[in-house]
């Protein structure tokens, strides 16, 4: 079974530039998550999709971050404009079911390491 | 507000010994708690889930306990091996939602030969 795919693996940009990350979840997984992981910290949830609808985006800085999941499969996360403090690893995860099925394990991709100069 | 605390300092132990990692939480009672392993440059990998009505769960050399009175979970690796060296994260759902999880900051474990 193929895992969660993410690209690019690394990205270096200057502040105020824009950047986009792509995620392809495990086939058949209804729930998709984007996390931000700053060095030395645990992953922080940015946004959670159930199929192509947003379940939770309470910690997404909506003035600069946006995400979409068209057709309930692939997803993109965009930052525009980037700030220095956005330097982090951006992780995508998926789970078979979300919502009321509370015990689902999450499968993570390898992440995209973003450096903002 | 809710808080999850894990040993902030790295844990270094001798191969063959039992490693014990701690996860403490405050201000509410989660329905379950999960443990993940994360290697450098990779995403977390799910290891175990323990429900609030379970005191203990085992998987091969791993054992997790869940004390809802102490608001603490302990994660044990018996007969530790250098390959067990990684960062271990605990995660639990916030009171506001059962469908997402919040991660602790993780404990880095190093097993020396």
Express each pLDDT in A18-47 by its tens digit: 999 999 999 999 899 999 999 999 999 999
Sign of the dihedral through C-alpha A36, B4, B53, A58: negative
Two structure tokens written together for B98: 């059962």
Cα(B71)–Cα(B1) distance, rounded to whole angstroms?
A: 14
Contacts of B89 in chain A (CB under 8 A): 42-43
A49 touches chain B (CB under 8 A): no
Q: What is the mean pLDDT of chain B?
A: 91
- The predicted model gives B23-33 an average pLDDT of 87
| pLDDT tens, position by position, B54-90 | 989 999 999 999 999 999 999 999 999 999 999 999 9
Two structure tokens written together for A22: 């792509």
- The predicted model gives B95-113 an average pLDDT of 85
| pLDDT tens, position by position, A51-80 | 889 989 999 999 999 999 988 899 999 999
């Amino acid at each position: 079974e193929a895992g969660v795919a993410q690209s690019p693996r690394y990205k270096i940009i200057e502040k105020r530039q824009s950047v986009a990350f792509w995620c392809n979840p495990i086939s058949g997984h209804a729930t998709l998550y984007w996390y931000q992981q700053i060095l030395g910290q645990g992953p922080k949830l940015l946004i959670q999709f159930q199929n192509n609808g947003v379940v939770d985006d309470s910690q997404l800085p909506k003035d600069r971050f946006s995400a979409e999941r068209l057709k309930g499969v692939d997803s993109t996360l965009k930052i525009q404009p980037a700030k220095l403090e956005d330097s982090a690893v951006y992780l995508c995860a998926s789970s078979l079911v979300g919502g009321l099925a509370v015990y689902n394990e999450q499968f993570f991709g390898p992440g995209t390491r973003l450096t903002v100069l | 507000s809710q808080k999850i605390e894990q040993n902030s300092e790295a844990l270094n132990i001798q191969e063959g010994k039992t490693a014990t990692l701690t996860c403490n939480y405050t201000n509410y009672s989660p329905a379950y708690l999960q443990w993940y392993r994360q290697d450098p440059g990779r995403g977390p990998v799910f290891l175990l889930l323990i429900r609030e009505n379970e005191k203990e769960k085992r998987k091969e050399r791993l054992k997790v306990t869940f004390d809802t009175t102490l608001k603490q979970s302990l994660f044990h690796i018996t007969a530790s091996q250098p390959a067990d060296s990684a960062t271990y994260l605990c995660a639990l759902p916030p009171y506001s939602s059962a469908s997402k999880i919040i991660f602790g900051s993780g404990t880095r474990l190093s097993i020396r030969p």
